[in-house]
């Protein structure tokens, strides 16, 4: 599959998404729009760049294993969990599923979260990265964090201090931007999340995401990761909030 490129699918099930996310949003902007841009289905979408395209930040072997082994297992297992628990994927979108995740088994929680998180993660990176946040996103970051550098430090601290495996997030929640982290494959769309909202940017800090290259140097991985962040995609997600 080396070299595979594809346009990521546009999501469905927006009414269910809106009903959940609207409860997380605040003034002027609505969080429902965050998923009108893109919501994954239950199948893996092809990686939108070649395995080695993010080098030297993320090496080719890590990307290959991450996508074909770890992420592929989440995609396969979430469908098994849905079949076992009587959930019809044609009628229940993944955002709706995540919004009610406390009603399901740990197998569903772990694998639905893992599938969503990884499908989003691939989009949030691109070869060579893109410019720093601009426009209204940059204005919102300065308003809510003081400066872009202050935001990056808070985000890096959330990623560095997440004990064990998990994710760091930039989230639109309660009418403002917030930084948070989640354990394992949890995310802010889940009704069990400490900070609920629309994920705009997420960083995978599971060891399988970086250990072949960085070993125990998670802070180096986090710092280098900014060089491949697709700020254009983050901007689109923010703009879609309405």
> For the chain, which domains are there?
1-242 (3.55.40.20)
Per the prediction, the chain carries an average pLDDT of: 87
Flag residues of the chain having pLDDT under 50: 1-28, 33-35
**How far is residue 168 CA from its own chain's centroid?**
9
Residue 141's pLDDT is what?
A: 98
Which residues sit opposite 201 in a β-bridge?
170
Distances in Å between the alpha carbon of 193 and those of 48, 55, 60, 185?
Answer: 29, 33, 33, 11
The pLDDT tens digits for 116-134 are 999 999 999 999 998 899 9
Helix, coil or strand: residue 200: strand
191 touches 202 (CB < 8 A): no
Quick check: 34 and 241 in contact, CB under 8 A?
Answer: yes
Angle between helices 148-161 and 135-145 (to 10 degrees): 70
The pLDDT tens digits for 168-202 are 999 999 999 999 999 999 999 999 999 999 999 99
């Amino acid at each position: 599959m080396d070299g595979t490129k594809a346009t990521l699918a546009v999501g469905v099930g927006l009414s269910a998404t809106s009903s959940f996310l609207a409860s997380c949003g605040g003034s002027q902007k609505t969080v429902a729009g965050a998923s009108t841009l893109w919501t994954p289905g239950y199948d893996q979408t092809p990686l939108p760049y070649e395995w080695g395209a993010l080098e030297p930040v993320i090496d080719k072997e890590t990307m290959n294993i991450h996508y074909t082994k770890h992420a592929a297992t989440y995609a396969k297992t979430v469908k098994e969990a849905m079949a076992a628990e009587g959930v019809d994927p044609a009628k229940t979108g993944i955002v709706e599923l995540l919004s009610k995740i406390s009603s399901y088994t740990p197998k569903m929680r772990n694998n639905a979260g893992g599938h969503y998180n990884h499908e989003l993660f691939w989009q949030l990176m691109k070869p060579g990265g893109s410019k720093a946040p601009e426009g209204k996103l940059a204005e919102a970051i300065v308003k809510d964090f003081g400066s872009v550098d202050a935001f990056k430090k808070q985000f890096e601290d959330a990623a560095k201090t997440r004990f064990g495996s998990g994710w760091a997030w930039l989230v639109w929640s309660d009418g403002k931007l917030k930084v948070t982290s989640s354990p394992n494959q949890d995310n802010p769309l889940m009704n069990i999340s400490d900070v609920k909202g629309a994920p705009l940017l997420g960083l995978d800090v599971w060891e399988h995401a970086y250990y072949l290259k960085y070993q125990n140097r998670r802070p180096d991985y986090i710092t280098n990761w900014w060089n491949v962040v697709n700020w254009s995609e983050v901007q689109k997600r923010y703009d879609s909030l309405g």
